[in-house]
Amino acid sequence: MPPPTQADLIFSPLANHNFSKILGDLKRSNLSISNRLRSIRQDSAFVQDLSRLYNLPLVANERCGSWYIPPALKTASAYFKSTDGHMGQWGFSTRRLNLHLLEVIGERGGCVVVDSTRRGKGMPDALSKTLPVWCCVVNRVLWPERGEWHGLFVPPAAVGESERSQIEERISGFVESFLGLGVDLSGIRGRLSKPLRPIWRTQDDGLPEWEEGDVELGDGEFYPVVCCTSSRRVVGAEMSEGGYIQGAGDDTENWAHGLTAEIWWRYADELLATAEGDLPGFIEELVAKASEEAGGGSSVRRLTDVLYVSALPVDEQSPTTCVVKLVPETTEKETWIKSKTEMHIGIGKSKTAGRNLRHALPTICEFVKEFLDANMTGSEEEPRLQVVVACETGKDLAVGVALGLDCWCFDDSGRLRSKGEDVGSFTKTAIRVRLGRIMTAMPEANPSRTTLQSVNSFLMDWQR
């Protein structure tokens, strides 16, 4: 009998068994839109049960926290980044101060901050390290005399003692950076009567065994900041979980087809009842419908006495309002100025727009300064002037431009610089102080790193 040839092998390449492709197809099938939405609803039930048990308000840690909280139950949003908790990169963000949470905590006796993480981790670094650092910094700033509360509390199962000690060594520097912003703390101190203490809850822990409203966390010694990891931990392949996906609300740009948390909760039943093959088209219809409903104009947020930001589109404004629209197209600089009170700046979208912003800021600042110089006479009968900066979200590029205008057009006391007055030089610290004021006035503002780098570059290199 002749020896077997390659063609006789069961798993020969000639048999065209592409196991990699098969496994990829199975994985994509498991990570379907339907499975993600069902997983989100399942995790949301745990989040809501925890909130009821502790009788504390729900706060979404963005980007994905809002997917797990029905809008009617969401009290606020927060921005604690996991990258600020990565090993060796521990930080305290001076551009996302989250000070608005202190009002919520003071009024409601604490809060539950909701986030999730993808397969392989028990909880996100945002909850295990970034938020605990924030609590520690706040305690040291507001209660410098209470040394017993100056330590860093972290979950022992997620953060080892060596890492905890290394983070704690940096806390004094974070406190110094915070105090350097010059934030008015008098109002904040008036809202709180005791320190903050992070506490961690996951689905793997289950719910504490007591009745609703039967316990006051800490017996009143501190305000509990409950760090809730909404998704249960999946060990190994998710294909063995019967369709459940850990951290299903994350990475929406890769699966959601434009679906947002707000639209999801508004049409949750309809979405879950739709066949997988029909979901992309149905989602596009819902997104288009939501866009049409929002077409009547966006709400304008006040940052300073003069500066405001908004999402596009912007309602018709009065002659005493200067409007700067940052549109998502790319247009020639010569076409930007539409009238003496309106500009349409076309610098593209996303990171491209953030990078191009540096080159647009000189033109924007010159245009707005001329408007203010022409209309601010200093008389008692002077009309109230507004400068409205609008972008797609009203939270990124618009905030960056407003920051640039605040530094360029106004001095540290908020006075409009005189015509021809030397602007002087700017430092990162001075710009950070202005940004801190803006973030305090608008906690949901979320300027990207690229946007802020462009603002810093323009302000610090403007003489060149």
**Do 32 and 181 belong to one domain?**
yes
Q: Are 258 and 283 in contact (CB under 8 A)?
A: yes
Instruction: Give domain status of residue 261, yes or no.
Output: no
The owner of tokens 């994985």 is: 27
Instruction: Give domain status of residue 186, yes or no.
Output: yes
Structure tokens at 254: 């890769």
Residue 462's CB is within 10 A of a number of other CB atoms, namely: 16
- For the domain that residue 324 is a member of, what is the CATH number? 3.90.190.10
Regions of the chain with pLDDT less than 70: 1-30, 208-219, 236-242, 294-298, 377-383, 462-464
Q: What's the pLDDT at 309? A: 95
Instruction: Give domain status of residue 90, yes or no.
Output: yes
**Do 121 and 212 belong to one domain?**
yes
Instruction: Give domain status of residue 62, yes or no.
Output: yes
**Do 199 and 313 belong to one domain?**
no
Dump pLDDT digits (tens) for 356-407. 999 999 999 999 999 999 887 666 566 688 999 999 989 999 999 999 999 9
Cα gap 242→39, rounded to integer Å: 10
Instruction: Give domain status of residue 302, yes or no.
Output: yes
**Do 157 and 68 belong to one domain?**
yes
Q: What's the pLDDT at 240? A: 52
Q: Are 97 and 42 in contact (CB under 8 A)?
A: no
List phi, psi (to 5°) of 63: -90, -30
The pTM of the full predicted model, rounded to 2 decimals, is 0.81
Q: What's the pLDDT at 4? A: 62
Cβ-proximal residues to 273 (8 Å cutoff; 6+ apart), any chain: none
**Do 216 and 139 belong to one domain?**
yes
Cα gap 321→336, rounded to integer Å: 17
Q: What's the pLDDT at 339? A: 93
**Do 217 and 325 belong to one domain?**
no
Dump pLDDT digits (tens) for 47-90. 999 999 999 999 999 989 999 999 999 999 999 999 999 998 99
Q: Are 335 and 345 in contact (CB under 8 A)?
A: no
Instruction: Give domain status of residue 273, yes or no.
Output: no
**Do 304 and 202 belong to one domain?**
no
**Do 60 and 147 belong to one domain?**
yes
**Do 215 and 334 belong to one domain?**
no
**Do 348 and 223 belong to one domain?**
no
**317 is in which domain, residue-wise?**
297-460
Orientation of helix 33-54 relative to helix 279-293, angle to 10°: 60
Q: What's the pLDDT at 461? A: 81
Q: What's the pLDDT at 299? A: 78
Instruction: Give domain status of residue 254, yes or no.
Output: no
Q: What's the pLDDT at 295? A: 60
Q: Which residue among 217, 234, 251 closes a domain?
A: 234
Instruction: Give domain status of residue 2, yes or no.
Output: no
Which helix (H) or strand (E) covers residue 100, if one does? Answer: helix 100-108
Q: What's the pLDDT at 94? A: 87
**Do 230 and 302 belong to one domain?**
no
Q: Which residue among 234, 263, 283 closes a domain?
A: 234
Q: Which residue among 234, 252, 285 closes a domain?
A: 234
**Do 356 and 440 belong to one domain?**
yes
Q: What's the pLDDT at 26? A: 44
Tell me the C-alpha to C-alpha distance, in Å, between residue 236 and each of 52, 97, 118: 32, 37, 12
249-254 long-range contacts, Cβ below 8 Å, gap at least 24? 249/36, 249/40, 249/64, 249/65, 249/67, 249/68, 249/116, 250/63, 250/64, 250/116, 250/117, 250/118, 251/118, 252/63, 252/64, 252/67
Number of domains in the chain: 2
Q: What's the pLDDT at 22? A: 45
